[in-house]
Structure 1
């Protein structure tokens, strides 16, 4: 992960700036409520994931408009607006880099609880790899390495992939794709991976 970030800094001739989104949210208070980001977002991501915002409220909106003759008031997506305007921009001046997924192995003989029954400590809305979905901005995941983990099944080390997500502002999809393609062509990122148990 660190090597991939350093390579990206070198490629872009840019200086990294580490951001604590929760701290920045608290300082700027974009919601006007003073709530910490975790309390404000609550189960936002799970709502997206399990129900789908549009489909879930479609019948309500239709019934409301039929009853009152006007569409219902829908509040602006405060978090999405804040992340797009305060952290990212549409001029492709900022690229946010973060790890993707969990760093512990997932064993096939361990059954996962339903997401709604999992510990609140899982922080669905605080996970770095959920931020692009919450903000509605482009994000591309790329492989950058692999690490060895002990396997309780194989009784020996197994290799797990390491991936990062590169996230940029609204409307910068082509710039982000082009940058990653150029990085692969110039050796800053792997242009291909192997099949099988080892990616590199």
Structure 2
């Protein structure tokens, strides 16, 4: 069925119907994430601000620990959400909507558990990391599948070659990222040393 009407214009009813039939699962995951971030995480910050009478525009500095943790979760979720949402939707648009939605649903569940754990436990880094690293792995899996699918379709690479090139590319990007982080750490060390000498 064509999504173009007889006059050549986009038929929005047909487009919407076909889009929903194809992408209902990633759409549901996106809504689930928006509920988690926009409602659950934000409400936890608001409830903590209300309890401690910590009104706006006060930030996290000097805030009571439960409020500070709730604010940190909210900020951290925002920092992580763009990677998952963009990679999930790219994966879905590359022809893998079911796979993308499954990865997205696992990611949302992991981020929910991360948020709950971080807000409710003081200083339990091990508990937090058990949800953080798997959520990063989910996003890396989505990156891999997007690149692999593009290589396979756009450049007509067979499965083995597209997997090898995508895997090699992902390793290279991760090594580059690690190098950038090490440079930033060195910069911080040099700056810190210069401040102590003054």
| TM-score band, normalised by shorter chain | under 0.3
Q: Which structure is richer in relative contact order (CA contacts within 8 A, separation 6 or more)?
A: 1
More strand by percentage:
1
Over alpha carbons, which structure has the higher Rg? Answer: 2
* Higher normalized helix content (fraction of residues): 2
